[in-house]
Amino acid sequence: MKRLITAVALSAAGLLTAALPTAGTALAQATAVEAVTAGDELYQGERALYEQALKEGLVVSFDTGPTWANWAAEFAAFKKRYPGVEMTYNDLGSAATVVALDKARNRPQADTAYYFAASAFDAMAKDVVAPFKPVNFDRLPEVFRDPDGKWFTIHSLTVAFVVNTKLVKEVPKSWADLLKPEYRNSVVYLDPRSTGIGQVISFAANFGNGGDMDNLQPGFDYFARLHKSGNVMRVEGTTPYAKFVKGEIPIWISYENDGLKAKHTDGLGDAVSVVIPAEASAAAPYGISLVKNGPNPNAGKLWLNFIMSAKGQAIFSEGYVRPSVPGVALPADIAAKLPPAPQVRPLDVKLAADRKAAVDAGWTKAALGK
């Protein structure tokens, strides 16, 4: 889905190469500034930053594919509030985004870069991102941000049980429930050795069984019991969303938003139940950065401030992902679909990356007996 909106094109390397549009006439700029501040500012200094962004006229956002995490709605809301600042994006994937930033370091073409937060550490190591602390930065949990603002979490994805209620009579509510004999040959999840979500699931199960980032054994012991019970139908190497929608999976351990999308967007309705396990779960952070020496730094900051504002955070929730900023007010209908989940723990992705080899080895021995 390597798509790009507006007349900006992607080269074979996945980098933007076309000429950038101008900001427009002075009259249009003045009208736009008045329009954005007709009501209250979203944050102090918004109008002044917008005036500077209008001189650049464009923000280039890497890896924000429109069908993921409700980015299409974020784009539309940004454009409506800031006419005169064009928006363009690509959809590369987290690791490929860091590679693209590194290749273009001498002539950066992106203003912002979005990725699973683990990739942010690669971006910092390659020195391709810049410090910037947007609105609400200080409200984030410490493990959801770099102290200097070189990356910060804008939303998270929570591990949950996605259950087909046509195939499962009694919906499991906890990790302990999944061990019950009535769920024989019913559970599917992704391989932690080869998938990011599989890694997050391994930490969620560990948290749910009394472990922490320094004690992984409770999670390994749990997977050993789960597989020994005969309740695991299979471990997948790629996301089985289509298989779930077709009714081929009774219980899928995945991200909460997968289940809510199947339930509310793809028409499964009451045939789907989405449960965050009662003991504990993990929230995987998805972060963003201001690109070092990007071509439109003020427009980039305007974009980052917008998605971190209460307005931008609420828009993410409409895509069934949880906002990263604590306490953001959500629309009533969305709040009903994303109820409070105090048992969810924010995942420290730096420690998670450091523990990957241990997770791979421990899970392989526990689940596969190898």
Count other C-beta atoms under 10 Å from residue 178's C-beta.
Answer: 23
Query: Between β-strands 251-255 and 187-190, what pairing exists: parallel, antiparallel or unpaired?
Result: parallel
Residue 358 has a pLDDT of: 97
DSSP annotation string for 161-204? EEEETTT-SS---STTGGGSGGGTT-EEEE-TTT-HHHHHHHHH
Cα R_g (the chain), whole angstroms:
22
Mean pLDDT (whole number) for 195-209: 95
Q: Is the dihedral of CA 237, 238, 244, 247 positive or negative?
A: negative
d(CA 38, CA 253): 46
pLDDT over 80 (residue 74): yes
Proportion of the chain above pLDDT 70, given as a percent:
89
pLDDT at 16: 39
Q: Are 282 and 207 in contact (CB under 8 A)?
A: yes
Q: Is the pLDDT of residue 97 over 60?
A: yes
234: closest CA among 242, 222, 226, 225? 226
Q: How confident is the model at residue 13 (pLDDT cuts 50, 70, 90)?
A: very low
| In the chain, % of residues over pLDDT 90 | 82
Rounded-to-integer distance, Cα 232 and Cα 214, Å? 27
List pLDDT tens digits, range 310-320: 999 999 999 99
Q: Give the CA distances from residue 62 to residues 66, 91, 116, 215, in Å, rounded to whole numbers and listed in that order.
A: 11, 7, 13, 36
Interatomic CA distance for residues 246 and 135, integer angstroms:
42
Handedness of CA 364, 224, 245, 248 (dihedral sign): positive
Nearest CA among 194, 151, 160, 204 for reference residue 350: 151
Residue for token digits 């390597």? 2
State the Cα angle at 295 between 300 and 83, rounded to 5°: 50
pTM: 0.82
Per-residue pLDDT tens for 225-260? Answer: 999 999 999 999 989 999 999 999 999 999 999 999
CB 245, CB 164: distance < 8 Å: no
Per-residue pLDDT tens digits for 148-196 = 999 999 999 999 999 999 999 999 999 999 999 999 999 999 999 988 8
- Band (370; pLDDT cuts 50, 70, 90): confident
Which DSSP string do the residues of 119-150 spell out, in sequence order? HHHHHHHTT-EE----TTGGGS-GGGB-TTSS
pLDDT digits (tens, 9 = 90+) for 342-351: 999 999 999 9
Q: pLDDT digits over 134-161, tens only? A: 999 999 999 999 999 999 999 999 999 9
Widest CA span of the chain, in angstroms?
71
Show Cβ contacts of residue 49 under 8 Å, excluding neighbours closer than 6 positions: 298, 301, 302, 305
Instruction: Tell whether the model's pLDDT for residue 68 goes beyond 80.
Output: yes
**pLDDT recorded at residue 173:** 98
pLDDT given for residue 32 in this prediction: 61
Q: How many helices (H) and strands (E) does the chain have?
A: 14, 12
| Residue 339, token pair as written in the block | 């109820």
